[in-house]
Amino acid sequence: MRYAKCVIIPDEEGLHPLDRRIAEHPDVTRELLHNVNLLVDDTIVALYQFSGDRNALESILSSSPMANQHQLSSADGEHHAYIHLEADDRLVGLLSMLREFEFIYDTPLEFTRRGGLRVTMIGDVKSFQKAVPDVPDGIRLKLLKTGRYEPNTDRLFSQLTGRQQEILRTAVEMGYYDVPRAVTHEDIGEALGCTGGTVGGHLRRIEATLLTQIVP
Listed by start position, the domains of the chain span: 2-153, 160-214
Determine the 3-state secondary structure of 123 from DSSP. strand
List pLDDT tens digits, range 109-120: 888 877 888 888
User: What is the layout of strands, in order, in the sheet containing 139-148?
Assistant: 67-75, 78-85, 44-52, 28-38, 104-111, 117-123, 2-10, 139-148
CB 33 within 8 A of CB 47: yes
pLDDT digits (tens, 9 = 90+) for 190-208: 999 999 999 999 999 999 8
Q: Of 197, 210, 213, nearest to 161 (Cα)?
A: 210
Amino acid 54: pLDDT: 94
- Tell me, what's the pLDDT at 155? 64
Q: In this predicted structure, what is the pLDDT of residue 216?
A: 56
* Phi and psi at residue 175, to the nearest 5°: 95, 20
Mean pLDDT of 122-133: 72
pLDDT at 50: 93
Judge whether residue 153 has pLDDT over 60.
no
Signed CA dihedral, 109, 114, 115, 116: sign only: negative
4: part of which helix (H) or strand (E)?
Answer: strand 2-10
Element (H, E) at 197: helix 196-214
Considering only the top CATH level, what class is 160-214?
A: mainly alpha
Name every residue whose Cβ is closer than 8 Å to that of residue 76 and which is 6 or more positions away in sequence.
205
